[in-house]
Amino acid sequence: MTSFEQSQVRRVVRGGSWGTYERDLRSTSRDADGAAERRDDTGFRIAMIETADRGEAPPVQAGQDAYGRCADIKIGPTAIRFRWIAPGDFQMGSDQCDAWSCRNEGPLHRVIFEQGFWLAEHEITRALYRQVMGEDPSHFVDGSLQCPVESVSWLEAQEFCRRANAELRGVALGLQTEAQREYAGRAGTQTPFCTGAAIDPQQANYNRHVGHPVPVKTYAPNTWGIFNAHGNVWEWTADEYHASFKGAPTDGSAWVGESGTTVTETSLRDSPAILAQVQEQCLQDGSLAYSVVLRVGTKPERSVTLGVVDADQAYRIADTINEGAVRLLD
């Protein structure tokens, strides 16, 4: 797969954000964006994808606190705490079809984690991202460096993991899988939220009650010690997006492969008020880069960027879309 094709693959995001409605915070709620997309309400959380003995013990001294086993992994001078998520099984997704749920949340299916896993207790912060990547892409730069990094693409999250792993020994870090995110976020519950049948602004950051991301430990964690199981920022997962869970893995692994879809394959169908615009960007070397931005006239308005292309190709794509040859998914 070329870098352009990889940038167009849609990746799953989970958890809702500071700007989404309550329904988007549900444990089963899922959305997706192209891997190159950057949004001011999307960050990421990491998991240990490999340890020295591939078992329960990480390559550091693990501790115990009120929420269970924990381990601090140092990336440079900064430690990030991971929670041990014990083996088990759960019913992933939803078989409901009502105002709260969407077609992409079903069918309900059993996922079995035969081995436990270590998951970061909160999202990657601006401070840690800056330390590893040497920059801070966040839109909200006036807040605390302990806020989650946002405006970061899936590709950039993967690059963060690559650079962090170059400094580590005996352990490898990677993006959480979609199943890991729901399992750990639920913390043994089957209710819409890990807080029960309802959630309120004292328990999570959502629906613009605050209007921006907040430091990662602002709200109490769930009973497994996972902060921001709901709200603050959407979190990238390793999974490619599929319109349903039909054929999904049942072992908690990431769902990737031939049935993964690209922005142009899954997002182009009938929808009202579509406008394609060509945007120019001046690069540091003085050259120009071009991209096609699709404006969707929904409420709230959405946009999807179709990669970086040369000027002639950008205008051909925009003309084709505006002439009605293809339309963007609502």
Rounded to whole angstroms, the Cα distance separating 225 from 127 reads: 21
pLDDT recorded at residue 272: 43
Rounded to whole angstroms, the Cα distance separating 107 from 103 reads: 8
β-sheet with 63-65: strand ranges across = 63-65, 68-75, 78-85, 117-120, 46-51, 171-175
Residue ranges of E strands in 52-144: 63-65, 68-75, 78-85, 88-92, 109-113, 117-120
For residue 102, give the DSSP letter: -
Q: Domains in the chain, start-ordered, CATH in brackets?
A: 3-263 (3.90.1580), 267-322 (no CATH)
Rounded to whole angstroms, the Cα distance separating 266 from 273 reads: 18
pLDDT recorded at residue 268: 31
Residues 6+ apart with CB under 8 A from 171: 48, 50, 51, 52, 58, 59, 73
Residues paired with residue 278 on neighbouring β-strands, in sequence order: 292
For residue 267, give the DSSP letter: S
Model pTM greater than 0.85? no
Q: What would the two tokens of residue 96 be?
A: 């409901």
pLDDT recorded at residue 303: 64
pLDDT recorded at residue 103: 73
Phi, psi for residue 31 in degrees, rounded to 5: -140, -175
pLDDT recorded at residue 246: 94
Give pLDDT tens digits along the chain (330 positions).
566 667 779 999 999 999 999 999 999 999 999 999 999 999 999 999 876 655 555 555 578 999 999 999 999 889 999 999 999 999 999 987 665 556 789 999 999 999 999 999 999 999 999 999 999 999 999 999 999 999 999 999 999 999 999 988 888 999 999 999 999 999 999 999 999 999 999 999 999 999 999 999 999 999 999 999 999 999 999 999 999 999 999 999 999 975 444 333 333 333 345 677 777 666 666 666 767 777 665 545 556 666 655 666 677 677 666 665 544 443
pLDDT recorded at residue 264: 35
Rounded to whole angstroms, the Cα distance separating 183 from 203 reads: 19
pLDDT recorded at residue 32: 94
The secondary structure element, H or E, covering residue 314 is helix 311-322
Residues 6+ apart with CB under 8 A from 61: 71
Q: How far is CA 314 from CA 36, 77, 293, 321, in A?
A: 17, 44, 10, 11
Q: Is the peptide bond before 148 cis (omega within 30 degrees of 0)?
A: no
The residue count of the chain comes to: 330
For residue 123, give the DSSP letter: P
Q: Check if the beta carbon of residue 47 is closer than 8 Å to that of residue 254.
A: no
Residues 6+ apart with CB under 8 A from 178: 12, 14, 30, 237, 238, 239, 254, 255
pLDDT recorded at residue 275: 72
